[in-house]
Amino acid sequence: MIVCDFCLQFKADGACALGLKIPKGMSCRDFGPGIEKFCSNPNDFVDPKQIVQMATYFGMKGTELKKVKLMAIRAETDRLEKSSRVYDMAANQFV
């Protein structure tokens, strides 16, 4: 397992979209984590602690772990905002 497996810049052909050399460990200066890289099914996402535990289990630390924490908090915030929206039938939109 490498850090690229959790990065949005990692392409299906095994190359970095930014043109960087693929690291052997769990460190990359331009690491960009994505929630879909940790949970293929959005319903599997419970809370940010779950994602942080997964990242720690896979050996992430330092800057990469901080980026994962921020990404998980953003995903939680987005999820809560979407669930608190109410659909206004008259206006035909979410409010």
3-state secondary structure the chain: CCHHHHECCECCCCCECCCCCCCCCCCCCCCCECHHHHCCCHHHCCCHHHHHHHHHHCCCCCHHHHHHHHHHHHHHHHHHHHHHCCEECCCCEEC
Percent of the chain with pLDDT over 90: 61
Asked if residue 89 has pLDDT above 80, the reply is no
Supply the mean pLDDT for the chain. 88
User: Average pLDDT in the 64-89 region?
Assistant: 84
How much is the pLDDT for 94?
60
Domain assignments of the chain as residue spans, ordered by start? 3-85
Task: Note the pLDDT tens digit of each residue in 29-73.
Answer: 999 999 999 988 878 888 899 999 999 999 999 999 999 999 999
Asked if residue 93 has pLDDT above 70, the reply is no
Look at 52 and 95; give whichever has higher pLDDT: 52
How much is the pLDDT for 46?
84
Taking the alpha carbons at both ends of the chain, their separation in whole angstroms is: 42
Sign of the dihedral defined by the CA atoms of residues 69, 72, 74, 77, in that order: negative
Q: What is the pTM of this model?
A: 0.81
